[in-house]
Structure 1
């Protein structure tokens, strides 16, 4: 557990709280990440019911998913800036309350238009949560854990999707899809109340871990780094793009796999949702595991996160492409499971790279740009494009095409790896140290430019 930055009171109770505060922060922030994606992805389990009740096309179903991600993508940066300035803990509570109320609103929707509006408001509430939440988590832990923490925190999204799809299948079969939305909304409100009581911005400031040698120093009297520093590093921009395009593939697969199992494997909606949740669980395990792997192989090797992310993307393309080309049987599901393991594994390495290149004072904003890319290029664009292809060619053909698009992030990751050493040298020059050692994404010191 990271050492605290503040001065602790002598009482044993306060000492215990101080030692365990980072764990409390991670646990509740992670729990809200689960709630975020449970509310968002439960819709995938309800697709068959909405298609039957309202006569919707696959494109219209895809739009209901994509509008949330589109709103997140559009608003992530401005709301992340607001979170950096207003207070990250307060921003998290406000966001959780808004998306939870909007989720309950989805339960009350009388038709497609009202459902669309409720999902749009949900996206506003969720817009900056990933960026602000990740910045909060990383602020109270040592830099050497960044890829693992980023991967684990981002896995909360896929774990939330697992729970949302699984519980959505069970609850909608037992109580109807409206009560399913209501249950997700109530859970979010309970977690928001707990966060407001246990975590404050004052506590976060007292427990912040000093981030030495990772980003340019602030000038005397300067409270925050300039936003221009987030655009002055080409490899940072490439990291945003590569992460978003890899999530294009991941989001397409996650959203449509329950319908794929329902139509191609001819499983009942509840069974399809249950099996899909297991595959998404495999993806979550892969994100966490690959984050730890990236931290391990990146010690004293600042370029290794790029290499690891590219390898993970290649493996996801190979296994998902092969799996969806196979006949629908048990062997196919095993091959798909391997592809699911790697399809979200770039999140940890890319989160570490972004944290390395952005000053802590604007790190939520930096993650806001990452969230924008992930949502606009990935979570918003992927499901709706897949739905459009499915309307024309069939869902099975669409999912055979989507994995091949991983070629785009693979090329971008290779390009980012080539650009990254120059950005490390530029950061050293900004510090006025020239050849001074610069901390790598894992937090270890390595000679500037070392590969």
Structure 2
């Protein structure tokens, strides 16, 4: 690392592009998570109107996630190949139309289809964001912007029960879907109007040097992705550690994201209005967790010999904390203490997520940053897709207590996958080698 280069501020043109990109990623991410959370907020009304069991509701909550997870694999490669501007813009339009269609659902089957299309549309959001950050920020300064765009997840999750509970109670659950879908279409127009992918050939030498500082291939334009090079990522223990580890992190996060309002009303007998407030508190804490983790991971990475190890360790510590605090959240009788413990879990969960996305930008070869990030996200959202189904059926058969304890154990196992398998960055020149690589 060059201390001189690191101390230099971003050139003005780069700084303006950074600010525009982060604002747009935040806004689109908030809408993304409000759309995901609408079904959780309207859970009791939808179940009553459509006559769904808890198990069926778990299937409905996860329909989006299965498609979203599978789409991560091709989407990451597409983002690396054609750029985040087109992929995320098209995704915004698709997911907004699907969200509005959910408000028109009159049957379980139609709702399943609408949620599946929502998963297709939302798939480019976070791989695109990882690529945007890697395009516009140098290697050792990517934690803070990653924490900022990742904070859209808890912010959108916090706003969903606060805003949408009011819409559901005052009007109808269908209007919550239609209103958020219309908002997404507005954001799509703004994204296409303001965001541009960088063209390094038109940058000054100072701008190139700033962006290339600390990268594996400083001064080089990353080559276009091929299928063989994408497939070569799976020959590394680092890739598998990130995939398995994020499974555990997202599983526990999505237990709370999809079932927290229902858990508070069903298991802890809170009213819908009180649930709207109580369910927002943990996600407001998650915003702080994401921002703090991004800033802190940059701080320790700048003083570390290994950006991969420093960002990985932040993930591991955060995930172990998630496991520890979920146990009292499940077992205590006090609603206030339970919400406080859940708030700590969501704080740490978003810290882990921000650090995981920053880890992808440090561990991946420059031409495959979105690809590795999307592979990690694929593993995560396999866990996210399983979480609402398993939680719904476990709660239906017993209660939410064993469901939460199961989730805590899965998160702990994911932390160990990060710790034991993610050891070194994947080199650009060997990423398509097709030879198994065991971490040192």
* 1:236-280 C-alpha deviation (Å, 9 max, x unpaired): 320222122111111112211111111233221232122101112
C-alpha deviation, 1:307, in angstroms? 2.1
| Alpha-carbon contact 2:138-2:215 (below 8 Å) kept | no
Q: Secondary structure at the match of 1:200?
A: coil
1:340-369 Cα shifts (integer Å, max 9, x gaps): 221232122222222122233322222221
Alignment correspondent of 2:435? none
Q: Structure 1 residues 384 and 137, CA, compared in 2 at 3 Å: closer, same or farther?
A: same
Closer/same/farther in 2, CA of residues 191 and 252 from structure 1, 3 Å limit: same
What SS is found at the alignment partner of 2:304?
Answer: coil
Which residue of 69, 72, 75 maps to 2:71?
A: 75
> Structure 2 vs 1, CA of residues 2 and 116 (structure 1 numbering), >3 Å: closer, same or farther?
farther
1:115 corresponds to = 111
Deviation per CA, 1:134-161: give whole Å up to 9, x if none: 2113311222222232233222122212
Question: What does residue 439 of structure 1 align with?
Answer: none
> 1:307 aligns to what?
313
The answer (yes or no) to whether the contact 1:165–1:273 under 8 Å persists in 2 is yes
Equivalent position of 2:353 in the other structure: 347
For 2:18 and 2:53, the matched residues in 1 are separated by 46
TM-score w.r.t. the length of structure 2 is 0.87
SS in 2 for 1:327: coil
Q: Please give the root-mean-square deviation of Cα atoms over the aligned residues, in Å.
A: 2.7
Going from structure 1 to structure 2, the CA distance change for 1:33 and 1:205 (only over 3 Å counts) comes to: farther
Which residue pairs with 1:267 in the alignment? 270
| CA distance in 1: counterparts of 2:9 and 2:35, whole angstroms | 32
- Structure 1 position 358 matched with structure 2 position 364: yes
Q: Do the aligned partners of 1:238 and 1:413 also contact (CA within 8 Å) in 2? A: yes
Answer yes or no: is 1:230 the counterpart of 2:247. Answer: no
Contact 1:90 1:200 in 2 (8 A): no
- Does the CA-based 8 Å contact 1:246-1:406 persist in structure 2? yes
Deviations 1:208-252 (A, max 9, x none): 763355335899994447224523431232022212211111111
Pick aligned residue for 2:379 from 363, 368, 373: 373
TM normalised by structure 1 equals 0.85
CA shift digits 1:260-305 (9 cap, x unpaired): 1112332212321221011122123212212222222232242222
Matched residue, 1:146: 142
In the TM superposition, what is the alpha-carbon distance from 1:83 to its structure 2 partner? 2.7
Would the aligned equivalents of 1:249 and 1:406 in 2 still touch at CA under 8 Å? Answer: yes
Give the 3 Å change call, closer, same or farther, for CA 127–205 of structure 1 in structure 2. farther
SS at match of 2:283: helix
Q: Is the Cα contact below 8 Å between 1:43 and 1:165 reproduced in 2?
A: no
How far apart are the structure 1 equivalents of 2:102 and 2:88? 21
Instruction: Confirm or deny: 8 A CA contact 1:243 1:346 kept in the other structure.
Output: no
- Which of 128, 134, 137 in structure 2 is aligned with 1:132? 128
Out of 306, 313, 322, the residue aligned to residue 316 of structure 1 is 322
Alpha-carbon distance in structure 1 between the residues aligned to 2:120 and 2:430: 37
Which whole-Å deviations, capped at 9, do the CAs of 1:110-141 have from their partners, x for residues lacking one? 11111111111111111122101221133112
Distance 2:56 2:357 in 1: 32
Tell me how far apart the structure 1 counterparts of residues 429 and 63 of structure 2 sit (CA, whole Å): 43
* Alignment partners' CA distance in 1, 2:362 and 2:349: 23
2:289 counterpart residue number? 286
For the 8 Å contact 2:22–2:148, the answer to whether it is kept is no
2:351 match: secondary structure: coil
Which residue number corresponds to residue 5 of structure 2?
A: none
Kept after mapping to 1: 8 A contact 2:148/2:291: yes
Distance 1:411 1:83, change over 3 A: closer
Distance 1:36 1:314, change over 3 A: same
Please name the residue that 1:173 is paired with.
169
Q: Is the 8 A contact 1:260 1:395 kept in 2?
A: yes
How many Å separate the matches in 1 of 2:222 and 2:130? 26
Q: Say if 1:224 and 1:216 are closer, same or farther in 2 by CA, change over 3 A.
A: farther
Choose from 380, 395, 398 the match for 1:393: 398
User: SS in structure 1 opposite 2:42?
Assistant: helix
Aligned pair count reads 415
Instruction: Give the whole-Å Cα distance in 1 for the aligned partners of 2:247 and 2:138.
Output: 26
